[in-house]
Amino acid sequence: MEGIKWLLRNCMVGISSGGILGDEMGLGKTIQAAIAVLCCDEDYPSLIVTPKSLMLNWKMEIQKFIPADSVNVVLFSPTSSTHDQVIEHITSASNSKTLVITSYPIIRNELTKNRSLLSIHFSCCVLDEGHFIRNHTSQLHQAICKVQANHRIVLSGTPIQNCLEDIYAIFQFIAPSYFGEYDHFYDYYIKPIAQAYHRKNRTLTTRANERIEALNQAVRPFLLRRTKDDVHLELPEKIISDVLCPMTECQDSVYGLYLYIFI
């Protein structure tokens, strides 16, 4: 419940109208986000963008935990011939109970469409594995930032994968004006931190530590990160059992032959 309350609180107030749910794997980011989206109760559909391989998993998780009469799940993966019809269906059926699930490649391709998901107004837009948009100069990032949504939520256990630019890219989605232009972000955060790392200078290190702390303070209101220990999951004690699986006669013969040849 804490994660759902945090998402709703961030969606309703503040500059971002959203945030980053960074719980580690296994804490139910999917269902927390889905419930928070439905609780927003606005007269618009919501959009969930996920890796293509997870689209069906999202649908199954939603159907598992949320009553069928409380949600209308639409998997958006149309062919070129059915694209406009599906867009029309989503537009005509738009309400707070409609959840549209699509993938990152499809969103990127929507940039070239006359009628697209980018023309629909959504209540919430959720990015699963949100680090997929970490390149702020990519076509994918450009498309994602064009999504029209009142609230924006990023799910990622690893919001920073390679460098501080990853954070800038995500904040361009959830709070576009928060860090200003990229050049300012680079000069104020990335450059002094990188210089201290490479030159090992005490003065530079002091300044870098100050900028790291400033960045932590800036990001903290928008990020909820918890581990299994933090939420005190009531799980049974782990039991480890060694199960011996003897080889079949055929497997034993092949194994013996390999030992004879190679050892």
* 173 vs 4, residue with greater confidence: 173
Distance between CA 208 and CA 213 in Å, rounded? 9
Percent over 70 (pLDDT), the chain:
92
CA proximity to 223, closest of 164, 176, 160: 160
Q: Tokens in use for 213?
A: 């702390």
In contact, 118 and 146? CB cutoff 8 Å? yes
Residue 260 forms part of a structural domain: no
Helix ranges, 66-181 (H): 83-92, 104-109, 139-145, 165-174
Residue 143 forms part of a structural domain: yes
Residue 197 forms part of a structural domain: yes
Residue 93: predicted pLDDT: 67
Count of structural domains within the chain:
1
Q: Tokens in use for 240?
A: 């480890």
In contact, 38 and 73? CB cutoff 8 Å? no
Residue 128: predicted pLDDT: 92
Residue 88 forms part of a structural domain: yes
| Residue ranges of E strands in the chain | 18-21, 46-50, 72-75, 98-103, 121-128, 148-155, 223-224
Q: Is the pLDDT of residue 198 over 80?
A: no
pTM over the 0.85 mark = no
CATH assignment at residue 105: 3.40.50.10810
Provide mean pLDDT across the span 108-120: 85
Q: Tokens in use for 176?
A: 């576009």
Range of the structural domain that residue 102 is part of = 2-235
Could you report the per-residue pLDDT of 216-239, keeping only the tens digit for each? 999 988 888 887 777 666 556 778
Q: Tokens in use for 72?
A: 């209308």
In contact, 47 and 146? CB cutoff 8 Å? no
Residue 27 forms part of a structural domain: yes
Could you report the per-residue pLDDT of 151-162, keeping only the tens digit for each? 999 998 888 877
